[in-house]
């Protein structure tokens, strides 16, 4: 038997007035997903263990079968693993967002979703100009970057991600706890440098948001994770445009598969991801496909884009996988968001998410449509998401 997981990040939601008081799942045209819901087994799953933050790193570890309460050490280490960044003893790594703060408020957690090439030039300049000992900056994709800091492994401050506080007064969300002074020093020095960079003046002249600050958060040290093969008896690949997911893949021994044109945003290459999943399953027993666009739409409050992303996932990723399952008779599919990112709150929540398990040998306990409400009323108590893959294998 072969297995596939499709993860529409942040897709679960609540009814919203922009969609006629419906959710994106209730609004979108999703013929393949609704078929799977009617023929498969549906339920609700807890992806965020009690007491942990509603974060994508925690939630995706759960979806992939790893209990975050046991294995989680921070978000940035997962992203660092994707880039082959190694930490020396005593070092910690932090996620760095290029952000726009005006009048003390978080205007954009992504500096207007800055282009990667421009962001990389800015990060390279800051790495050269900061002049602070014990810190290295690594450029990533768009607004997502990393900082490695010496002598911080045991002093990692608490800090929310900037996507969690759209429009908020940032002074209320300063880094707190041991090591916070070093985070503040980096951010204050960077803000002075950024205000003088010609690239920022050019961005303003072009009507774009400038990069006014760096925002360091999600720090940690490298985790030790058992391999996917050790846990489940086989291996495969994970397809994502996001370093967070690629890093998880690297750490658990899955192939981190990149797809040309996969951006982690609305314009991602959905069809390319679907074809990559089929190619992976032609050579392996497992493939996971992660799509970030639904989460970005939730954070941005863009209801129509969330609907469009779900429809593209259904058409270009889920439908080809279901067709392969129909053809071969040896493929099971688990479809589930990692967490809700409701359009109303524009942030993650820890609420249980709907899932459907479908394919050869899966006994039906379905719903007429895959929506939050339909599945919730047919589900018993929400189950731990980290158990679902093993349940699908054992079915």
Does residue 395 have a pLDDT over 90?
Answer: no
pLDDT band at 131 (very low <50, low <70, confident <90, very high): very high
pLDDT confidence band for 224 (50 / 70 / 90): confident
pLDDT surpassing 90 at residue 346: yes
- Residue 231: pLDDT band (50, 70, 90) is very high
Mean pLDDT, residues 209-223: 95
Examine the pLDDT at 127 and tell me if it is beyond 90.
yes
Distance between CA atoms of residues 310 and 19, nearest Å: 14
Query: CA-CA distances (angstroms) from residue 171 to 55, 102, 159?
Result: 22, 12, 12
Q: With 90 as the cut, is the pLDDT of residue 246 above it?
A: yes
The dihedrals phi and psi of 93, each to the nearest 5 degrees, come to: -120, 140
> Would you place residue 67 in the very low, low, confident or very high pLDDT band (cuts 50, 70, 90)?
very high
How many C-beta atoms lie closer than 10 Å to residue 386's C-beta? 22
- Asked whether 306 and 297 are in contact (CB, 8 A), the reply is yes
**pLDDT digit string, tens, across residues 291-308:** 999 999 999 999 999 999
Would you place residue 74 in the very low, low, confident or very high pLDDT band (cuts 50, 70, 90)? confident
* Per-residue model confidence as pLDDT tens digits over 133-184: 999 999 998 999 999 999 999 999 989 999 999 999 999 999 998 899 999 9
Give, as one character, the DSSP assignment of residue 284.
Answer: S
Task: Please report which confidence band the pLDDT of residue 334 belongs to, taking 50, 70 and 90 as the band edges.
Answer: very high
Collapsed DSSP state (helix, strand, coil) of residue 2: strand
What integer pLDDT is reported at residue 180 of this predicted model? Answer: 95
pTM greater than the 0.85 cutoff: no
For residues 312-327, give the mean pLDDT. Answer: 98
Residue pair 301/343 in contact by the 8 Å Cβ criterion: yes
Q: Which residues of 351-368 are buried (b: 16+ CB within 10 A; e: fewer)?
A: bbbbbbbbbeebeeebbe
Q: Are 80 and 248 in contact (CB under 8 A)?
A: no
Strand-pairing partners, residue 290, are 7
- Which two structure tokens, joined as six digits, stand for 135? 């810190």
What DSSP assignment string belongs to 231-277?
HHS--EEEE-SSHHHHHHHHHHT-EEE--TT--SSTT--HHHHHHHH
Say what the pLDDT of residue 73 is. 85
Q: Does 322 score more than 90 pLDDT?
A: yes
Ramachandran assignment for 286, one of left (phi > 0), alpha (psi -120 to 50 degrees), beta (any other): beta
Sketch the domain layout of the chain as residue ranges: 2-72+225-394, 92-220
Task: Kindly report the CATH class assigned to 2-72+225-394.
Answer: alpha beta
Percent of the chain whose predicted confidence (pLDDT) is above 90 = 94
Gap between the Cα atoms of 306 and 294, Å rounded: 5
In this structure, what token pair is assigned to residue 140?
Answer: 């990533």
At residue 301, the pLDDT reads 96
pLDDT recorded at residue 66:
97
Mean pLDDT of 260-264: 95
């Amino acid at each position: 038997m072969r297995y596939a997981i499709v993860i529409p990040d942040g897709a679960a939601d609540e009814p919203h007035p922009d969609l006629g008081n419906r959710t994106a799942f209730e609004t979108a045209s999703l013929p393949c997903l609704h078929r799977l819901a009617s023929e498969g087994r549906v339920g609700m799953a807890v992806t965020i263990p009690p007491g942990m933050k509603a974060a994508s790193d925690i939630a995706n570890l759960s979806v992939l079968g790893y209990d975050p309460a046991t294995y989680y050490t921070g978000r940035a280490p997962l992203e660092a693993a994707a880039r082959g960044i190694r930490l020396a003893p005593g070092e910690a790594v932090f996620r760095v967002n290029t952000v726009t703060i005006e009048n003390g408020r978080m205007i954009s957690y992504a500096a207007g979703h800055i282009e990667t090439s421009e962001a990389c030039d800015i990060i390279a300049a800051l790495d050269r100009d900061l002049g602070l000992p014990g810190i290295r900056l690594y450029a990533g994709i768009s607004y997502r970057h990393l900082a490695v800091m010496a002598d911080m492994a045991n002093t990692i401050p608490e800090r929310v991600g900037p996507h969690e506080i759209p429009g908020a007064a940032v002074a209320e969300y300063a880094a707190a706890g041991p090591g916070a002074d070093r985070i503040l020093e980096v951010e204050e020095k960077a803000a002075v440098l950024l205000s003088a960079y010609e690239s920022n003046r050019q961005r303003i002249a072009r009507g774009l948001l400038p990069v006014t600050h760096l925002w360091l958060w999600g720090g940690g040290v490298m985790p030790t994770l058992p391999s996917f093969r050790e846990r489940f008896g086989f291996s495969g690949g994970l397809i994502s445009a996001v370093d967070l997911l690629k890093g998880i893949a690297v750490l658990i021994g899955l192939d981190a598969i990149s797809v040309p044109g996969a951006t982690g945003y609305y314009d991602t290459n959905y069809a390319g991801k679907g074809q990559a999943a089929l190619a992976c399953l032609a050579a392996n027993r497992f493939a996971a496909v992660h799509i970030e666009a639904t989460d970005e739409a939730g954070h941005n409050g863009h209801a129509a884009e969330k609907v469009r992303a779900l429809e593209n996932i259904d058409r270009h990723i889920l439908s080809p996988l279901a067709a392969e399952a129909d053809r071969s008779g040896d493929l099971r599919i688990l479809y589930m968001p990692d967490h809700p990112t409701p359009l109303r709150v524009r942030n993650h929540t820890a609420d249980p998410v709907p899932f459907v398990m479908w394919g050869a040998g899966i006994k039906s306990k379905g719903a007429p449509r895959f929506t939050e409400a339909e599945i919730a009323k047919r589900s018993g108590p929400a189950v731990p998401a980290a158990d679902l893959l093993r349940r699908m294998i054992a079915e």
